[in-house]
């Protein structure tokens, strides 16, 4: 029976992971959250993990009192999150925390030789070289949970060598604002941005989908995961979100993975690979699914995609600067302090002002992230 340490159990991916864990008869031995004590307590009472962690110290103290009758160990902060990632009783770590907070736990788990199912794209975006080096050096496994990267991973299974691959094609829904022009995007609201046409996701990733930054981050992620150059990765708008991504081979064959907009399938595949087993994901009914359409991305009206490509081309800490500025800008937008099109403007400002360092160490990446956040919000 697989034993899972789930980092970020109260978020959308975390809750769906627990559905998969329960359906497959696996054991959730560690659960973590930021500060959602109510839900984390309920999850602990249902799944009886050995360890529970809250990043917020006050929330951890409250949780410890509430779980005093259960025997669940409670820790807090980054030290607690790293302990969760290297917990001896777990064989798989699923990282579903949001943002740069996932970087150190992911590195720690890989250095222990664990399988890491990664739903935290910022880790690879900001420190992809360090993460892949750790996996190679210590024998850890890194498997994608993002639907697009899971689709590419699945479509690569029949390939004998990466030399056979001509191109990776990431699909994008286009978000809620597909077809809109800059002048229209200047006046859209937070409520508008959170109306994703196909997926139910957290607020930050939903806004990233609306700006197309999410697809830009996935390009950088694909470069790291599959060790592919930028010019071999492209994006196509596919409004229906039925094809989750594709691989084009040297003989012009294109393999794709199709499915419903249900994250439980890529979550399950990251846990069970190389095997497939019955699970809770919704079946795609080919007789009732819509016609499949494709369109090129609009980088002029959605400049975040172009900014991400620019950072990918620059390399070094440029991707950490991009990500840190974007996280800060999206937080400001969600709080109603800036407009939608201020997000790419703030990201570009940080990319212009924060120096890029090549071949960075972990400390350099963290420093670049912090500097980008400060510059983006004008501190």
Span 49-60, pLDDT tens digits:
999 999 999 999
Task: Give me the helices (H) in 157-273, please.
Answer: 182-185, 190-193, 203-211, 213-225, 264-272
222 Cα distance to chain centroid: 12
Rounded mean pLDDT, 329-347: 97
- Cβ partners under 8 Å of residue 158, min gap 6: 255
Kindly give, in sequence order, each residue whose CB lies less than 8 Å from that of residue 252, ignoring residues fewer than 6 positions away. Answer: 166
What pLDDT is stored for residue 379 in this prediction? 67
Residue range(s) occupied by CATH 3.40.50.720 in the chain: 3-144
The architecture CATH gives domain 150-371? Orthogonal Bundle (1.10)
Enumerate residues 6+ apart whose C-beta is below 8 A from 352: none
What average pLDDT does this structure show over 167-193?
95
- CATH 1.10.1740.10 region(s) of the chain? 150-371
27 SS3 class: strand
Q: How far is CA 317 from CA 100, 269, 361, 377, in A?
A: 13, 31, 9, 19
Q: Which CATH code is given to the segment(s) 3-144?
A: 3.40.50.720
pLDDT category at 98 given cuts 50, 70, 90 is confident
How far from each other are the two terminal CA atoms of the chain, in whole angstroms?
50
243-249/92-95 β-pairing: unpaired
Q: Match 């249902």 to its residue by tokens.
A: 46
DSSP state of 185: H
d(C-alpha 330, C-alpha 340), whole Å: 9
Q: What is the pLDDT of residues 186-227, one digit of tens each?
A: 999 999 999 888 777 788 989 999 999 999 999 999 999 999
Nearest to 209 by CA among 181, 168, 237, 242: 237
pLDDT score recorded for residue 108 = 96
Smallest CA-to-CA distance from 123 within 225, 268, 213 is with: 225
Reported as a pLDDT band with limits 50, 70 and 90, residue 252 is very high
Question: Pick from 199, 122, 341: which is nearest to 332 by CA?
Answer: 341
């Amino acid at each position: 029976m697989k034993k899972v340490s789930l980092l970020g159990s109260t978020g959308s991916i975390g809750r769906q992971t627990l559905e998969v864990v329960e359906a497959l008869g696996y054991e959730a031995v560690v659960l973590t959250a930021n500060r959602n004590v109510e839900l984390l307590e309920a999850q602990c009472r249902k799944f009886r993990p050995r360890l529970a962690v809250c990043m917020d110290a006050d929330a951890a103290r409250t949780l410890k009192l509430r779980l005093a009758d259960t025997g669940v160990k409670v820790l807090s902060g980054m030290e607690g999150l790293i302990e969760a990632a290297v917990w001896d009783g777990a064989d798989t770590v699923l990282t579903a925390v949001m943002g740069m907070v996932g970087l150190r736990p992911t590195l720690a788990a890989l250095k222990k030789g664990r399988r890491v199912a990664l739903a935290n794209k910022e880790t690879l975006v900001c420190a992809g070289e360090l993460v892949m080096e750790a996996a190679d050096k210590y024998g850890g496994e890194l498997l994608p949970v993002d639907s697009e990267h899971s689709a590419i991973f699945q479509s690569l299974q029949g390939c004998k060598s990466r030399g056979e691959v001509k191109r990776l094609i990431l699909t994008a829904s286009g978000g809620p604002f597909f077809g809109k022009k800059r002048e229209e995007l200047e006046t859209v609201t937070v409520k508008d941005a959170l109306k994703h046409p196909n997926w139910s996701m957290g607020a930050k990733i939903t806004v990233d989908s609306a700006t197309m930054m999410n697809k830009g981050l996935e390009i950088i992620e694909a470069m790291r995961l599959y060790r592919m150059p930028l010019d071999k990765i492209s994006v196509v708008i596919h409004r229906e979100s039925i094809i989750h991504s594709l691989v084009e081979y040297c003989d012009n064959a294109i393999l794709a993975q199709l499915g419903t907009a249900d994250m439980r399938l890529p979550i399950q595949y990251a846990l069970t690979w190389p095997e497939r087993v019955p699970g809770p994901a919704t079946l795609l009914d080919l007789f009732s699914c819509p016609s499949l359409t494709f369109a090129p991305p609009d980088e002029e009206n959605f400049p975040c995609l172009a900014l991400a490509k620019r950072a990918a081309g620059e390399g070094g800490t440029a991707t950490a600067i991009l990500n840190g500025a974007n996280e800060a800008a999206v937080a400001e937008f969600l709080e109603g302090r800036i407009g939608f099109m201020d997000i790419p403007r703030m990201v570009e400002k940080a990319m212009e002002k924060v120096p890029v360092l090549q071949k960075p160490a972990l400390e350099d990446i963290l420093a670049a992230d912090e500097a980008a956040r400060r510059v983006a919000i004008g501190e």
